[in-house]
Chain A
Amino acid sequence: MSQGKTVLTDAHFVWAKEHDLGTDQVYDARSFWKDAVARFCKNKGAVFGLVMIVMIIALAILGPSISGYDYRTQEMTQRNLPPHIAGWDNAPIFNGKYEGYNVYEEKGIQDVTHIFGTDTLGRDMFARTWTGARISLYVALLAILIDTIVGMSLGLISGYFGGKIDFLIQRISEILSTIPTTVIVTLLIVVMKPGLTSITIALMITEWIGMCRVSRAQMLRLKEQEFVLASKTLGESTFSIIFKEILPNVFGQIIVMCMMTIPNAIFTEAFLAFIGLGIPAPLASLGSLISDGYKSLTMYPFLVLFPVVVLAMLMLSFNLMADGLRDAFDPKMKEM
């Protein structure tokens, strides 16, 4: 045994090369929110949607003052004018040409700018379109408020307490969802006078149901967990358990659901305006502009073009953003 004994020295060993070493790399822990933001920013469609929404909001706020006209001043000498920007008479678009000849030149008003043209009463369409977009944005804001105040609260309460309250809220939402939304909304507005108030009430009755279901389901999932029990044992009030302990855990789903109802609400308002149950004249909404414009589609297509494009972009952007948020908050969903 003794002669076989070898003494191990440094020479017996080879230093490991760095790239052969498998070291554990420790990444910085990223919070859920940072992670979600990073995922959201990677989604091109969602970022496009966000940028578009910001642009539309900016134009809706500034638009009427940019053009220098307001939405209701009628100029009978300037009716049905095509889109025109002063000085662009030879440009391919916004040149004020209608069926080949320049209407502005003929009337001797080359220095007048109507970016989106004028309607049959000589009102500036640029101002009207962006004033109309304000209504759609108001409806979007309203949808968020209804979702969070009515839908979310009812859902959380219904899920947390269960029993009679749950039964009552669930039956109401079940019955409301068996009646077509179109029917409820149309009936309500026929009975009340068309206007912003009745649209608000109609949306309030119909838009909370989806959110109520989502938040109730989330509440049922969470309320048996240990941290809730711990808070209960420590004597926290019920209100604070629901809104301070449980709510932050379901915020992701709630934001996603909110974003999903926005296009729905905008669509409902535009639809009501189209069938003549919207904002009364001279106020305009995108739906009522489209409704006024489509009758002269073959004569003055520009009257309907701009409101339709704005409405379509608004709906598309909110949908893209909702999809992006869903993927950002719930990456597993994307695999599906």
Chain B
Amino acid sequence: MLKYTAKRILLAVVTTFLILTLLFIMLQAMPGSPFNDEKITQVQRAALEAKYGLDKPLYIQYFNYVKSMLRGDFGVSYVIQKNMPISELLKVRVPVSLQIGGQAVILGTIIGIFLGIVAAIKRNSFADSFATFVSVIGVSFPSYVFALAMSYFIGFKMEWLPLLYTTSHPFLSTIMPTISMCMFSMATVARFARTEMVEVLGSDYMTLADAKGIPTRRLIGVHALRNTLIPIITVLAPLTMELMTGSLVVEQIFAIPGLGSLLVTAIQFNDYNVVLAVIFFYSIAFILMMLVVDILYGVIDPRIRLAKEERKV
């Protein structure tokens, strides 16, 4: 177990450094310079470059870059809010995005598990077809289709919920974004849960438990459910990535002051420091999520750990 965990952590660290290197190369390759105001003279430009450490050799710049990024010092914003430290910008925006993303994952997973299990127990019934239909729609339609439909009908026509994010109703404003973002997680989890449940229901130990006379409710609620839930952990990491992508668009539609809308604004205004900082933040979040899922899965299900180690050898 120790070896397995160590290996996972090592992979995460290597990936982090790789992303940092990639970001640094990108930073060098970005078109233009942060100081492309025509009024700046050569002397002023040199002074500015010295101030931000851009006159040093490349490897020192790289070293400084990695050091400061890991410390959480992402530099300052050049365009969006001049000279505002990016960590300050992030501090306000991360909780909003985290809240909506978290709500979406939790809601999506719970509904998805429920749908998948009902579909598996009542196979080839109306409930099964319904669950399949919902999951195909959820996987197929991008989250902004739901977001736009809801904001038009529920937000604009009915006026039940705020059309745009307002700080006066922070929770009510998150309902529509959460629902539109959870559809994909829900559909993925439902598909997965159905497949797993069908497999578990057909296994020998379920037949044995049934033969022993365990009541159906206990049979499904205790014996089948647990074994179904374990593999669902593995889809959580790809789902996080999907949610990040979704948040970029959904936050834009509902004007939510989160990480996603910050990234989009930064891209539009060529504020590269902010772009790189948000991307770094996303990557770290994803790497951490993968690490947690991998280790958690190894702890819960020893077969995975053994199989993975065997395959590696």
Question: A residues touching B (Cβ–Cβ < 8 Å)?
Answer: 45, 175, 178-183, 186-187, 190-191, 263, 267, 270-271, 274-277, 290, 294, 297-298, 301, 304, 308, 311-312, 315-316, 318-320, 323, 335-336
Known: A175-B18, A336-B195. A316 touches B136 (CB 8 A): yes
Within 8 A of A (CB), among B113-170: 136-137, 139-142, 144-145, 148, 151-152, 156, 163
Chain B residues, CB < 8 A from A186: 263, 267, 275, 279
Contacting pair B272 A190 (CB below 8 A): yes
- The total number of A-B Cβ pairs within 8 Å is 112
Residues of B within 8 A of A (CB): 11, 15, 18-19, 22-23, 26, 29-31, 136-137, 139-142, 144-145, 148, 151-152, 156, 163, 195, 198-199, 241, 244-245, 248-249, 252-253, 263-264, 267-268, 272, 275, 279, 282-283, 286-287, 290
Contact status A190-B267, CB under 8 Å: yes
Q: Which residues in B have their C-beta under 8 angstroms from that of A190?
A: 26, 30, 267, 272, 275
Would you give the shortest CB distance from A126 to chain B, in whole angstroms?
20
Q: Are A187 and B279 in contact (CB-based, < 8 A)?
A: yes
The main secondary structure of chain A at its interface with chain B is helix
Name the B residues within 8 Å of A336 (CB-CB).
195, 198-199
State A276–B272 Cα separation when bound (angstroms): 15
In the complex, besides A190-B267, A308-B145, A312-B141, 17 extra interface pairs with C-beta distance below 8 angstroms are A178-B11, A179-B15, A180-B245, A181-B241, A182-B245, A182-B282, A183-B19, A186-B263, A274-B252, A275-B249, A276-B264, A276-B268, A290-B144, A311-B142, A319-B139, A335-B198, A336-B195
B252, A180: Cβ atoms under 8 Å? no
Contact present for A298 and B156 (CB under 8 Å): yes
Given contacts A178-B11, A275-B267, A297-B148, is CB(A312)–CB(B140) below 8 Å? yes
| Interchain nearest-CB distance for B280 vs A (Å) | 9
Q: Known contacts A180-B244, A275-B249, A316-B141; decide if A294 and B148 are in contact (CB<8 Å).
A: yes
In the complex, what residues of A have CB within 8 A of residue B145's CB? 308, 311-312
Partner of A175, one of B15, B23, B152, B253: B15
CB pairs A–B below 8 angstroms (11 shown): A179-B22, A181-B245, A183-B283, A190-B272, A191-B26, A271-B245, A275-B252, A276-B267, A276-B268, A312-B141, A336-B195
Tell whether A277 pairs with B195 under 8 Å between CB atoms, given A180-B244, A297-B148: no
Using Cβ atoms and an 8 Å threshold, which residues of chain A touch B23? 187
The reply to whether B241 and A315 contact each other, CB–CB distance below 8 Å, is no
Q: How far is the CA of A308 from the CA of B253 in the complex (A)?
A: 14
Contact of A183 among B137, B163, B272, B279 (CB under 8 A): B279
The residue among B142, B148, B272, B286 with the most chain A CB atoms within 10 A of its own CB is B142
* Chain A residue with the shortest CB-CB distance to B142: A267
Interface centre among A186, A263, A298, A315, by most chain B C-beta atoms within 10 angstroms, is A186
A118 to B281, CA, bound (A): 40
